[in-house]
Structure 1
Amino acid sequence: MKPLIHPRLVNDPFGDPGLYVELLFEHRALLFDLGDIRALAPRQLLRVSDVFVSHTHMDHFIGFDHLLRILLGRERNVRLYGPRGFIAQVEHHLGGYTWNLVGNYTGELAFEVTEILDSTTARRARFACRSGFRRAADAELELSGGMLLAEDAIEVSCTLLDHGTPSLAFRLAETSHLNVWKDRLQALGLPTGGWLRDLKAAVRAGAPPETPITIRWHEAGVPREVRHTLGWLHDTLLREAPGQTLVYVADCAATDANAGRIVALARSADWLCIECTFLEEDRDHAARKFHLTAADAGRLAREAGVKRIIPFHFSPKYEARPEALEAELYAAFLGAAEG
């Protein structure tokens, strides 16, 4: 089965934090953190529907203006999520520019910005291009289980960590993995196409099995049409398996409270993207900076039972020996299993 979730670091592990996650078959992408994102092509940034910002230190948020530049003048609605104070910070960025000509744009760019106040409460505001990005539609929201985004195919939840300032960690979960039996599709003479995406969406939404599905296509220039029920198509064409999960943990201190929240969020995840900023030999310095060591990251990954680790946010002091960070990370990750 082809996975829905395809993650890749925006920069190398010494560069600004950022994780680009392409959602296969969805024709869209998610972005975790907004550091320097110039390595992403405009076509990739134009796929971004949601941006999840851990906190707004410069190396995690300086890319907002670049994203704005790429999207400006296009018909887009992008959702942004961040910690307490995030709405005002987005507002200040937008307020730093003059918008007297935006009424001429044919495309309406809008940002829907959500800030997480605590484990149960959030606030949301909207900034639309044609109004000069004036803040509007302020509303307070209730959070259930830290859930930020709940769709047919994916869910994104968060937990609050301490980095000397609130820092968010995120969990992206595929609700279920649906794959098409291509040989059966061909045997039935049915085409690929958007109808398969609609079929999967109907299955995930829990539509009744008797729901009619009409499939239309052209074959040698001749229009074709067949009708089947959702239940028959599901049983005949689709394979269903548990969805994949990815957890993103950026800057945070090595405290017991943070560790408990990270392990709970990352339990049995397929990927854990986690900061590995310092070596154990510099643990005191890591504590002063509110960062994890590579060994901390490995131990948390082991305790959570994750399958794969994507390490990032290496301190530049180790540029001559990145292998030391990776060795320490994987020694801690594999240590208990070998012992």
Structure 2
Amino acid sequence: MPPLFHPALVNGPFDDPAVYIDFLFERRAILFDLGDLAPLPPRKLLRLSHVFVSHTHIDHFVGFDRLVRLTLGREKRLRLFGPPGFVSQVANRLAGYSWNLVENYPTDFTIIAAEVAAEGELLTAEFHCRKEFVREGERRERLREGVLVDEEEFLVRTAPLDHGIPSLAFALEEKNHVQIMKSRLLELELPTGPWLTELKRAILGDVDPAAPFRVQWRDGATRHERSYPLGWLRDNLTRLVPGQKVVYVTDAAFTPANAAKIVALARSADYLFIETTFLDAEAERARERGHLTARQAGELARLAGVERVVPFHFSPKHRHQEELLRRELATARREGTAPAAGLTVSDRDRDEAWG
């Protein structure tokens, strides 16, 4: 059975950073960063339930207006997360427009914006279309282990990094993954479809294994239904495997504190999307700009033991050296190179990785 999360870069590696993650069967998606969103069609943007913004440099936040313009007039609640000061920046973006007609809208598009405050709190405020997007409903809560979202099937956690300003890294973690055995589906002559999502929820939830589970689907105009004990479907159709993990890291200086947080956050990830801005020969320039080199990115991926690395956020000056950036990352990931190879992550570093 295909995995639940389907992550992909929105733009090319030299263009604005953003990663779109589609959820199989659920007609929903999340987004890491709000750079240029032009490549995403409206149907994909309208699936978004959560957006996680690393920081508000223009190449990471310029897509906000397009997302609001597309969603305006729809009955939708959109949750946004960002670094310290993010709630005020959202308020200021919305205040840049006139909203004198929105009280007549039949729907109340709502933005819930939250910022990871420097003191380890999450500050949240709401902006309702029908109230002209006035900031209201503020509340504060303590962040626990960096967890921003905790839902039935997944959670999203963050780690604050230093980019001269705070820049957030994110990890999307599936709690458990119920894998469907396709061969058994074929043997039972059962189709794929939304019912499999409900089956997974029932298996992971506190549902009596003896309870009947109805499998419903349509074949053209014909409606089909079968009933099986939940425990029988669990034992004969599925197996429980570790959930997926997708990590997003961008705009971070190569410092011991940042490195420790990145390695802890990305440990054993299925996908690590990591900025690869400069070549190794430009390490000093990277330090001054608060970015990673290709070698540093590869070394962090190696230390974290990730399965796949997707480099992005290449400096435009290397537009004709893309292969060299990728090769430096791959070499460091495979072999380890000084001085980054001397980097270690202590238990204390891991404990403090959430800021």
Normalised-by-shorter TM-score class: over 0.9
Kept after mapping to 2: 8 A contact 1:73/1:108: yes
Superposed displacement of residue 230, structure 1: 2.3
1:154 equivalent to 2:154? Answer yes
Cα distance change on mapping 1:83 and 1:184 into 2, 3 Å: same
What's 1:59 paired with? Answer: 59
Instruction: Return the offset for 1:188.
Output: 4.0
Which residue number in structure 1 is paired with residue 83 of structure 2?
83
**Partner secondary structure for residue 167 of structure 1:** strand
Contact kept? 1:125, 1:137, Cα under 8 Å: yes
Post-superposition shift, 1:194? Answer: 2.9
Deviations 1:221-266 (A, max 9, x none): 6665444332222222222211111110010111000000000001
Distance in structure 2 (CA, Å) of the matches to 1:135 and 1:93: 12
Deviations 1:273-316 (A, max 9, x none): 00111112111111111111111101101111111111011111
Q: Is the deviation greater in 109-118 or in 47-56?
A: 109-118
Amino acid at match of 2:65: D
Change in CA separation of 1:71 and 1:223 when aligned onto 2, cut-off 3 Å: closer
Q: Give the letter for the 1:273 counterpart.
A: F
User: Aligned equivalents of 1:112 and 1:126: distance in 2?
Assistant: 5
Q: 3-state SS of the aligned residue for 1:161? A: strand
Secondary structure of the equivalent of 2:260?
helix
Deviation, structure 1 residue 220: 8.4
Pairing of 1:1-339 with structure 2 (within 5 A): 1-118=1-118, 120-188=120-188, 190=190, 192-217=192-217, 225-336=225-336
Secondary structure at the aligned position of 2:133 is classed as: coil
Structure 1 CA distance for aligned equivalents of residues 12 and 140 of structure 2: 37
2:172 is paired with a residue of what secondary structure? Answer: strand
- Give, in angstroms, the shift of residue 186 of structure 1: 4.8
Structure 1 contact 108–129 (Cα < 8 Å) conserved = yes
Aligned CA distance change for structure 1 residues 336 and 285 (closer, same or farther; 3 Å): closer
Identity %: 50
Of 56-65 and 21-30, deviating more is 21-30
Counterpart Cα distance in 1 of 2:293 and 2:266: 18
Separation in 1, partners of 2:271, 2:235: 30
Instruction: Name the TM-score, length of structure 2 as normaliser.
Output: 0.89
C-alpha change, 1:131 and 1:239, in structure 2 (3 Å) is same
Taking the aligned partners of 1:42 and 1:251, their CA distance within structure 2 comes to 28
In the alignment, is the contact (CA less than 8 A) between 2:25 and 2:194 conserved in 1?
Answer: no
Q: Report the Cα distance in structure 2 between the residues aligned to 1:139 and 1:149, rounded to whole angstroms.
A: 16
In the alignment, the residues of structure 1 paired with residue 106 and residue 185 of structure 2 have an alpha-carbon distance, to the nearest angstrom, of: 41
- 2:345 aligned residue: none
* Equivalent residues of 1:119, 1:160 under 8 A apart: no
Per the alignment, in what secondary structure is the counterpart of residue 130 of structure 2? helix
Q: Select between 138-147 and 251-260 the one with higher mean Cα deviation.
A: 138-147
Q: In structure 2, give the amino acid aligned to 1:244.
A: Q
SS in 2 for 1:34: coil
What SS does structure 2 have at the residue aligned with 1:112? Answer: strand
Residues of 2 paired with 1:56 and 1:220: CA distance?
Answer: 48
Distance 1:328 1:75, change over 3 A: same
Separation of aligned partners in 2, 1:192 and 1:303: 38
CA distance in 2, matches of 1:191, 1:263: 40
SS at match of 2:291: coil
Give 1:210 shift: 3.2
Cα 1:236–1:251 shift into 2, 3 Å: same
CA contact (8 A) 2:13 2:312 kept: yes
Does structure 2 retain, via aligned residues, the 8 Å contact 1:119–1:146?
Answer: no
SS at match of 1:37: coil
For 1:245, the aligned partner's letter is K
Counterpart amino acid of 1:63? G
Greater alpha carbon shift after TM alignment, 71-80 vs 229-238: 229-238
Is the Cα contact below 8 Å between 1:119 and 1:159 reproduced in 2? no
CA contact (8 A) 2:210 2:230 kept: yes
Alpha carbon RMSD of aligned pairs, Å? 2.0
Contact 1:80–1:112 (CA<8 Å) still a contact in 2?
yes
Q: 3-state DSSP class of the match of 1:59?
A: helix
Residue in 1 that maps onto 2:351: none
Q: Report the TM-score, using the length of structure 1 for normalisation.
A: 0.93
